Structure 1
Amino acid sequence: MGDSSPTAATKSRSLLAACLTHALHDGYTDGLYAFMPVWQVQFGLSYAALAVVRALYSATMGGLQIPADQALRAVSPRAALILSTGVASTGLLIMALPFGFAGLCVGLVVAGIGSSIQHPRGSMLVTDSYGAASRRPLGIYNFSGDLGKAVLPALVAVLLPILAWRPVLGLMAVLGSALAVALVSLAPAARVIRNAPAAAAAGRGRDGFRILTTIGALDTATRMGYLLFLPFLIHGRGGGSPSVGLALALLFIGGALGKATCGWLGERLGVVGSVMVTEAATALLIAATLFTPLTPTLILLPLLGIVLNGTSSVLYGTVPELCDGDTGRAFAVFYTSVIGSGGLAPILYGAIADHSNQTIGVLASAATAVLIAPLVLALRPHLRGPTVGSCKRSV
């Protein structure tokens, strides 16, 4: 089937629609961390129970990525993004209503269902619109998620001392509804159908992809485990809700910078060298934040964000090299693995902290980064040979 290439204006609107949706949904995802200390007090939750509650959203979002992508392939980008944003906003609205702990849990699941649609459909919209020239637009799309992670958690933390947590969630739901209305004029009403790429040979790329996916899962586990404890680390140093919001914003701003920095590092050190460096730095900086007062901790957080989040850009860019011909499905599997890990791993770290203390829980997340070293060494042979199938090396 031939191409039906969109105009430059249509491409720009499509990219803007995907970026705004990505920013909102990633802002929803990480903005929930600012609510956790409040929920812990109001509902009497342990660290492990709090992680389970958080996982209702993240595990739902991660587990439904592939089914949502398959179910909505025939749906227009406009309908998919509006549905995604509308369902996620409805979930936040349910959480904002006075339905108690059950309402909170149901709302998190509904919001997770909505956000499960966004990643595969937003990525597909950008890829369909730009075709072979989609690498830079996809980078802009990924970066927009980090902007959402930086802005919405900070906004939530600023509003929490002024308003109760339920009205703050209500305002977030209103923001999503406003975006859903805007998407009517931004997102295209029909998909751009392009020629399907030739299938790539499986070979050793399949084994390498399994290792890469495991590394991605552990890298995400480290990040999400640390994020579970960060608000409590800040409170333990005398910081209030505004300080928590500032800490999260600094970490996520560093993460956004890390995407560019670690991409540059990957070009010079290669996948193995750059991942080894970033994971070692991650472990050291996580441990350092256990022993620094509030102000030095805030200073360290952007540096930690660079390596904590930047590694993912190196891993993400390696997926095409190890794909088996269906790059879209490979990314969906990779997303499912890392998001699922992000939802489940904090439960383990929370249980560790409940049975020991917060410091041990944080050190467990740092130790996970160290565990990546032997895996990335095992990945080396899969990166050295000739190109796997028709998928070119991208890092």
Structure 2
Amino acid sequence: MPTTIAETDGRAATPTDGADNIRPPIRTRTLATIGVNHALHDGYTDLIYVLLPVWQAEFGLGYVALALVRSLYVGALAGLQMPATALARRFSARRVLVLGTLLGAGGYALAGVSGGLAGLCGALVLSGAGSSTQHPLASAVIARTYGAGARGPLGTYNFAGDLGKAALPAFAGLLLTHADWRFVLWLAAGLGVVVAFGVATLLPREPVPREDALACSQAAVPGGSSASRTGFGLLVAVGMLDNAARPGFLVYLPFLLQEKGAVLTTVGVAFGLVAVGGALGKAIFGRLGERYGVTRCVILTEAGTAVAILLVLALPLTPALTVLPVLGLMLNGTSSVLYGTVPDLAPPGGVARAFAVFYTWTLGGSALATPLLYGPLGDAVGPTWAAVAAAVTALAVVPIMLRLSPNLARGR
């Protein structure tokens, strides 16, 4: 029997179609390949945080401008999720993932040769466009590969992304003490080319019709009812607030740590500590959501995020660094629970489209909130109070999550 990620016979595919026919070694190889690709792209995203103080010094930027620079990348990443899904229907998820990874690497390579701020901004938009292919397509591939048992593998996939967040920013922070930031971006671009080659070589092909493999009928998807559509909308709202709180704090973390006496290498290590905790959070909470319910886990992580942010603000440098893994655990623990719930509440149009919609709105909210809300707050009242606003944003998830709870099978 040929190796495929999904199989159909002309009917609309359900999230589990063909999953039982995929052999365990193929599933493992698919998850490992997708995980490494996720690690690269999430590392690319968080690498920007470490570079913000460097760009502030070189280009004389205020907090609003810095937030805008980051949002150019995230905005391109968010805004092109749906087009990436449409391309995958025509050219296959595997091919689009390879091209997206090469484009992400190419954007960082161009940023490394940019001579000014305009060139840097354009290059970040290009790199973000490449990374837009990763989340919806990779998540849908895992959902199709593992079928009804996809929640755990989706947690592993998200865990892999945080490994990239832990490794790449920390390594870049170390290199920045000895090398120019442009050289660091060239190295990151080279790593992207290697990963793209690995995806092209190792990810199984999809010989079935793309439209069937990536789409689901209303009758075949559990989220076809109006109640599920309402639940999906609430899930998106929770994801938007969660994704807004994270950069709302992290964009100021380098400056908060520098106020406590940290050097650039320490800042890179700090982001590594946050990402290590985040990796554990994504690995742990994806499974805790299955056992104890989505609502309980999300409320715990969002309340924990707010408390951890306030502790980092109040403590001296060394104790604050020890809190960062716990902050990462809470800050990123929510996402695995939410991602694993997307297939359960997917509206008509299919799981791949549901993931694309979810990522578009949640990442788009993050891209807009940083320059429009947290950036002006930072310039007006300073990084500390802007970080407090991020903690308040995390707490705002709680009432929405309680409203969502009746729509979840195990959310009470």
Tell me, in whole angstroms, the C-alpha distance in 1 between the residues paired with 2:85 and 2:353: 9
Unaligned runs of 5+ in 2: 1-7, 10-17
1:363 to 377, 388, 395: 388
| 1:29 aligned onto 2:54 | no
Query: What does residue 214 of structure 1 align with?
Result: 237
| 1:382 aligned onto 2:407 | yes
| 1:372 aligned onto 2:388 | no
Tell me, in whole angstroms, the C-alpha distance in 1 between the residues paired with 2:301 and 2:114: 44
Tell me: CA distance 1:12–1:172, structure 2 relative to 1, closer, same or farther (3 Å).
same
2:72 to 47, 56, 62: 56
For residues 168-202 of structure 1, what are the alpha-carbon distances to aligned partners after superposition, in whole Å with 9 as ceiling and x for unaligned?
Answer: 00111111112222333212343456875714432
The Cα shift of 1:321 comes to 3.3
Query: What does residue 171 of structure 1 align with?
Result: 187
1:334 to 352, 358, 362: 358
Tell me, in whole angstroms, the C-alpha distance in 1 between the residues paired with 2:99 and 2:146: 23
The answer to whether the Cα contact below 8 Å between 1:57 and 1:109 also exists between their aligned partners in 2 is: yes
2:378 to 340, 349, 353: 353
- Specify the code of the residue in structure 1 equivalent to 2:384: T
For residues 202-224 of structure 1, what are the alpha-carbon distances to aligned partners after superposition, in whole Å with 9 as ceiling and x for unaligned?
Answer: 22121222122111110111111
Range with greater deviation from structure 2 (134-143 or 87-96): 134-143
Unaligned runs of 5+ in 1: 388-392
Query: What does residue 390 of structure 1 align with?
Result: none
Tell me, in whole angstroms, the C-alpha distance in 2 between the residues paired with 1:265 and 1:129: 22
Tell me, in whole angstroms, the C-alpha distance in 2 between the residues paired with 1:207 and 1:166: 46
Tell me, in whole angstroms, the C-alpha distance in 1 between the residues paired with 2:290 and 2:95: 38
Q: Superposition RMSD on alpha carbons, in Å?
A: 2.2
Q: What TM-score does the superposition give when structure 1 sets the normalisation length?
A: 0.91
For residues 326-378 of structure 1, what are the alpha-carbon distances to aligned partners after superposition, in whole Å with 9 as ceiling and x for unaligned?
Answer: 23322221111211122121211111110111111111111111222222222
Q: How many residues align?
A: 387
Tell me, in whole angstroms, the C-alpha distance in 2 between the residues paired with 1:181 and 1:199: 34
Tell me, in whole angstroms, the C-alpha distance in 1 between the residues paired with 2:102 and 2:309: 37
- Specify the code of the residue in structure 2 equivalent to 1:377: L
| 1:297 aligned onto 2:320 | yes
The Cα shift of 1:311 comes to 1.5
Tell me: CA distance 1:10–1:199, structure 2 relative to 1, closer, same or farther (3 Å).
closer
Query: What does residue 110 of structure 1 align with?
Result: 126
Tell me: CA distance 1:373–1:128, structure 2 relative to 1, closer, same or farther (3 Å).
closer
- Matched-pair identity in %: 46
Alignment of 1:225-374 (within 5 A): 225-263=248-286, 265-267=288-290, 269-325=292-348, 326-347=350-371, 348-374=373-399
Tell me, in whole angstroms, the C-alpha distance in 2 between the residues paired with 1:19 and 1:130: 14
The answer to whether the Cα contact below 8 Å between 2:63 and 2:376 also exists between their aligned partners in 1 is: yes
Tell me, in whole angstroms, the C-alpha distance in 1 between the residues paired with 2:110 and 2:92: 27
Q: What TM-score does the superposition give when structure 2 sets the normalisation length?
A: 0.87
